[in-house]
Amino acid sequence: MTQPTSAQLADARAGQRMTISGAHTVGAADGGPGLPGTGWSREHGDVRVPHFLGLHAMQALPLILFLIARRRRPDAQRIRLTWVAAASYFALFAILLAQALGGEALTTPSGTTMAAFAAWALGTAGGAWIAVSGAVATRRTAVVLG
């Protein structure tokens, strides 16, 4: 978001003062219709969406971990659920970043992005199920004992 666009560089080379460096919209000039409250583009990619999610990981992940810790589960399950939560959060960030850099608006995802969201949801649910069921730990024990 901080690298100047080609138009900004051209203006700077022409002797104009660069008042803004960079842009947050991908696929169009900054501005245009935005989501209420955030101003995120409704027509093109906007890197502020993954930026928001990544920045707020510092609040969201500890809150998720607090909720996991409140459940009466063995420590091994809580640790596995913590890894699932962190991996899921990162995967969501990566999907939103790819969507923004591809020039897609958050409100109009492509079929590929929808498939990625579905895979993310299924992967998160499957990872949580494995973490709680202990399927990984049971299989490791069988390999060590077998």
Three-class SS state of 89: helix
**What is the total count of domains within the chain?**
1
CA–CA–CA angle 125, 83, 141 (5° rounding): 90
Residue 84 lies inside a defined structural domain of this protein: yes
Strand partners, 46: 25
Choose from 93-102, 119-128, 130-139 the range with maximum mean pLDDT.
119-128
Tokens of 114: 């929808």
Residue 6 lies inside a defined structural domain of this protein: no
Domain span at 127 = 45-145
Whole-structure pTM over 0.95, yes or no? no
Residue 5 lies inside a defined structural domain of this protein: no
Compute the distance between CA of residue 127 and CA of residue 143 in angstroms, rounded to an integer.
Answer: 21
Residue 117 lies inside a defined structural domain of this protein: yes
DSSP 8-state class, residue 5: P
CB 109 within 8 A of CB 117: yes
Tokens of 1: 């978001």
Q: What is the pLDDT of residues 54-97, one digit of tens each?
A: 999 999 999 999 999 888 888 889 999 999 999 999 999 999 99
